Structure 1
Amino acid sequence: MDKGMELQKQRIRRLEAAGCRSLRELWEEAFAEDTKLFNDYYFDNKAEKNNALILEEDGKLLSMVSMTPYQVCVKTDGIFRKVESTYLVGVATRQEWRRHGFMGRLLKEACGELNAAGQPFAFLQPAAPEIYEPFRFTYIYDKPQWIFQPEFGLMADDLLEGESREPVFIRDGRKILQAAENVLEKKEQPGYGMLEVRPMEEEDIPEVVRFAVPLLERRFQVYTERSAEYYEMMLKEMYAQQGDSFLLLDDKRIVGYFLYSREKGPVIQEALIYPEFEELVLEPDTVSQPAIMGRIISLPAMLSFIRCRQKLDVLLKYEDSMIEENNGFFRWQTGPGESSVCRMDAGKVGQQIYAETSPELLTAFLFGRRPAEECFSFRNGYRWEREGLLQGLERIKTLRDVCINEIV
């Protein structure tokens, strides 16, 4: 019997919490580049916090997708609100069963579950974007490629390589230059004009949270929530990547941190530093590269926190081959301080002007990746009406400043 006929025997099953630990064998087969240390971390700490969908036949696991829940902070009306989102990880199929549509079946099922839960969007880190583009995922975040200042790298080498946990002190020349003549003696005091670099410890975490959240809120419109639990897990994750988490302190006050991995060569996983101290540690003008893809899951939920600089009433035609609940016509009314979405009967559209779009185009638009003119096509109405509707859409406040640096 060929595999096409055998597909009838397969079924999708849901795993929860500790049940997700059973996926380790397929994970290690599919992601052979991951070290045992990292896999131990993931399956001892993260897997049991997930849900997963698996496709199996006669009890044999063939394909899987894990769903890691995240709280994402989104800026709306000048304030941040937390929304439930999901990081899709561990998307894999046994080698001999690839190219049979298993991943598509599981992703469709997963998106349906998340839609029923009212989640606005989901995200993932692709091995290659072309794998996920057919499922209407598109990039929403470019990750900076942070690079150490050469002088800093030399001074902190023993600390970064784990050969020492003793703090390193970097002279902040600007403090010396700015010191007034009558306080010149302060230069002679130990630590004056010095930036301290040392490993982050668990007891530092409450202060790290108090430092990080205001800075993230100033820089970004969307970021994954940074709680004490988040940083406790990040300490473990950096150890699992043969690296560490480091603090930057000025007169014992946290002014930055960076997460440093050595698993696949030295990499700064994240750096969050006050601007006036960044140049002491990092090279200026670092480049970015596309890192995280996203997809609208519930259209009404996603649009509910999108605002416009002036009142806008637009009829949308949205086509989504993965999530049936998103298909059809929707009337979206938004403006300063408001946004509402309701489904509209296609039979009542008549000759009304409407904007047509799709998951990947609307996602790219709402996250500030592409302009309105590339993401919408217009049907019905006069030319001046279509141009007016486009101008209205151009006034949408998009979520262009995003920070999602998670690996799993």
Structure 2
Amino acid sequence: MEVRLLKQQEHGKTRLLWEKVFQEDSKAFLDYYYFFKTRENSVYVVEEDEEIRSMLHLNPFLIQVGEGQFDVRYIIAVATEESYRKRGYMGMLLRKAMQAMYQEKQPFTFLMPAAEAIYTPYDFRFVYDQNVWKYTVVEKQEQKSLPVSEAGIGDGADLAAFFMEYFSERFQIYAVRDEQYYQTMLFEQQSENGGIAILKRSEKIVGCFLYGDEDGLEIREPLYLKEYETEFWAAVGKVCEKHGQKEALVYAGISEEEKIGTVEFQKQKPTIMVRILHLESLLRLLKTKAGEQIDCSFAVLDSILTQNSRVWKLQSSPIGESEEGEEAVKEADVAKEVEKQRLSDCETKIYVRETEDSEGVLSIAALTSLLFGYKSVEEVAEEPDVFLSERLKGELKKIQPFDKIYLNEIV
């Protein structure tokens, strides 16, 4: 038995295992995946009896995280041949992949789980729920409408510009949209008997959505300018009628309304789980809430990536901070900056370093729930392996969590 990273030219060897395990995926989808995605992804496998018996794919995405952009890996196609299961192969692959990503100082990895219980032992936690609506076609009713067109390869840049101009500032964490992103997404949707629909007014995009029709019509990422809301849903209706459907599930909408005409909110669906990798890199991206100053320390327990198991000091002033060989900043040099931050109504940077004195203990999983805003300080304090002093609870509440997330990638 051998666990290894495949060479790029070997990636196609995993298709047979994919076809065995994920029998619901169509030939068209797999043709798309193995032509586009395996060009640039990483694939870890377990080989036994001279064949690939287990695999894990890491698909790269450029992810906006706060004010920075990072190459982050999306975990997909974690699979083991049926007769080789219950041998710990999945755990081997996850640990090896996570260690490799840690060495690259990636702040986190993410996935869309088949079942939550599979990944919680490896300290993955849910951080993002998709809003799910149901759209019902309006029978014989006049609606305001605009022309609906199918996106082509040449529309990628305009789609990216539409998202970045009108929607990107709503979120702290999302896959960066560029021309190539939408070009690849177009082929992905077409492999599922769908596409990308565009709504325009005076040659300008005012709405768009992804759709697929394998086991019923599904709409993803319905993005539109508020003043064209009625026209947008009329466009969805046209796509439903084109596919002979009277209704469609709508995923990842950003409206906060419970009902929009015949579009009715159904539920929030836990969708994306995150695993913190290089903790220090993630901590350095944090900021305090507006006008807050933080000064605290806590121990982190990480049984898999033990390099994260340290006592971490977070503070608003850079005293003791040292980066890239520069001398640590002296107290006298930061007095003015600290006062400036105290009076500011903006979020302020948090400085990070190791220390010895701890005010509490957090598991890496609990810290994930906290930093990504999925749980409150009080909720996290009730988790196993967590101890927070009252003072530490107050300080942790000053952190601005990464709770505005929009990660809807499928593969």
Query: Fold-level match, TM-score > 0.5?
Result: yes
Partner of 1:341: 352
Whole-angstrom CA distance in 2 between matches of 1:334 and 1:263:
51
Partner of 1:404: 407
Partner of 1:101: 88
Paired residues of 2:301 and 2:364 also in contact (CA < 8 A): yes
Whole-angstrom CA distance in 2 between matches of 1:100 and 1:370:
34
Partner of 2:220: 269
Partner of 2:62: 71
Partner of 1:125: 112
1:298-317 map, 5 Å: 298-309=278-289, 310-317=292-299
Equivalent of 1:41 in 25, 32, 36: 32
Whole-angstrom CA distance in 1 between matches of 2:279 and 2:190:
39
Q: Does 1:226 align with 2:159?
A: no
Greater per-residue helix proportion: 1
Identity rate, percent: 31
Return the letter of the residue paired with 1:358: S
Partner of 2:253: none
- Post-superposition Cα deviations, 1:310-342, rounded to whole Å, max 9, x if no partner, equal 221221211111112111222223474322322
Whole-angstrom CA distance in 2 between matches of 1:287 and 1:274:
23
1:19 to 1:343, Cα distance in 2 relative to 1, 3 A: farther
Paired residues of 2:3 and 2:93 also in contact (CA < 8 A): yes
Whole-angstrom CA distance in 2 between matches of 1:148 and 1:118:
42
Whole-angstrom CA distance in 1 between matches of 2:298 and 2:305:
16
Mean alpha-carbon deviation: is it higher for 315-324 or for 275-284? 275-284
Give the gaps of 5 or more residues in structure 2: 234-259, 318-346
Paired residues of 1:27 and 1:92 also in contact (CA < 8 A): yes
Q: Does 1:363 align with 2:344?
A: no
1:77-88 map, 5 Å: 80-88=67-75
1:171-250 map, 5 Å: 171-172=143-144, 194-250=145-201
Deviation at 1:375, TM superposition (A): 2.0
Partner of 2:12: 21
Deviation at 1:378, TM superposition (A): 3.6
Whole-angstrom CA distance in 1 between matches of 2:88 and 2:396:
36
Paired residues of 2:156 and 2:181 also in contact (CA < 8 A): no
Partner of 1:292: 272
Whole-angstrom CA distance in 2 between matches of 1:102 and 1:268:
35
Give the gaps of 5 or more residues in structure 1: 1-9, 156-169, 173-193, 380-385
Deviation at 1:128, TM superposition (A): 0.8
- Post-superposition Cα deviations, 1:351-377, rounded to whole Å, max 9, x if no partner, equal xx4221112211111111100122244
Whole-angstrom CA distance in 1 between matches of 2:266 and 2:212:
18
Paired residue secondary structure (2:227):
helix
Deviation at 1:240, TM superposition (A): 0.3
Paired residues of 1:147 and 1:268 also in contact (CA < 8 A): no
TM-score for the superposition, normalised by structure 1? 0.80
- Post-superposition Cα deviations, 1:254-284, rounded to whole Å, max 9, x if no partner, equal 0110000102211112211122323441625
Q: Does 1:375 align with 2:380?
A: yes
Task: Say which one has the larger Rg.
Answer: 1
Whole-angstrom CA distance in 1 between matches of 2:304 and 2:354:
18
TM-score for the superposition, normalised by structure 2? 0.80
